Structure 1
Amino acid sequence: MSILSKEKVRLNVKVNDRYEAIRLAGQLLVDAGHVPAAYVDKMVEREGVSSTYIGGGLAMPHGTNDSKALIQSTGMSVLIVPEGVDFGEEKAYLVIGLAAVGEEHLEVLSSVAVMVADEDDMQRILQASSEEELIALFEEGMNA
């Protein structure tokens, strides 16, 4: 199973708040079989403890530490929110839902963070015109 696939990508998403964005990102992980529905509640709970906004327009919601046992396989979902969604003090335009087995969590987190730290790469991601283009950008960036 691929960590990122077309079924886990949504372009031009409109959400009312960060919790709606988190639930949508989580549901894509559920639908793909990476996690059970209970994991989505843990993603929302995690956001309540501490914001998953990373900076530069990126938020990476994930479950609480005690939800790791729920994860069946590593996966990520991607939401592009052109109008942005408030994550506390900042707006996120890229919301990446993450469920990772064991130590893969840090590996995925750091490669995505490095990739979007480059303003040009972030703009290319936000302006992707198709799910396939977006996936290609991620695969290129994460294997760099």
Structure 2
Amino acid sequence: MENVIFSADKIVMDAKISNKHEAITLAGQLLVQGEHVTDDYIAKMFEREELMTTYIGNGVAIPHGTNESKEFIKSSGISIVQVPNGVDFGNGNIAYLIIGIAGIGDEHLEILSNIAIVCSEEENVKTLINASTKEAIIEIFERG
């Protein structure tokens, strides 16, 4: 079976999340379920968050592992958690879209870049936060 970086089974719509820990855990679990990473990767996502917030602005956070987490990555992948009520990522930064990523080699840089381009447009982020279907979310990222 071909390993798809981004697909509907790695998107959670309308998540009810009460804190950053839950948000990162869910984004990580989706990557585990998609067979992109091992469970150990989630711990590295928390390490990364402790080093520096993965909140990038515009209501978006991109939790991912540290450089030491490469051994836990089986394939590149993206997970998306839509949180309409938002979750506090610290310093008053509220994330409505949590995008978990794992990348083989330097692929994470390209993935991050593509996500940053899409999420730099406030209109795109609003559309993603308010999307009612997984297909609508996928379409926005495929469009770039």
The one of 115, 118, 129 equivalent to 1:115 is: 118
The one of 73, 76, 91 equivalent to 1:74 is: 76
Cα offset, 1:72, TM superposition: 0.6
Q: Distance in 2 between matches of 1:73 and 1:26?
A: 14
Aligned to 2:47: 45
Amino acid at match of 1:115: V
Aligned to 2:109: 106
Q: How many percent identity over aligned positions?
A: 48
SS of the residue aligned with 2:63?
coil
Q: Distance in 2 between matches of 1:94 and 1:111?
A: 15
Q: Gaps spanning 5+ residues in structure 2: where?
A: none
Q: Distance in 2 between matches of 1:59 and 1:8?
A: 16
Amino acid at match of 2:107: E
**1:77-96 matched pairs, under 5 angstroms:** 77-89=79-91, 90-96=93-99
Aligned to 2:27: 25
Aligned residues: CA RMSD = 0.9
Q: Distance in 2 between matches of 1:51 and 1:119?
A: 20
Amino acid at match of 1:19: H
**2:125 is equivalent to residue 127 of structure 1:** no
Cα offset, 1:20, TM superposition: 0.6
Q: Deviations over 1:29-52 (max 9, x none)?
A: 001100000101111121112111
SS of the residue aligned with 1:21?
helix
Count of paired positions: 141
Q: Distance in 2 between matches of 1:4 and 1:81?
A: 18
Q: Gaps spanning 5+ residues in structure 1: where?
A: none
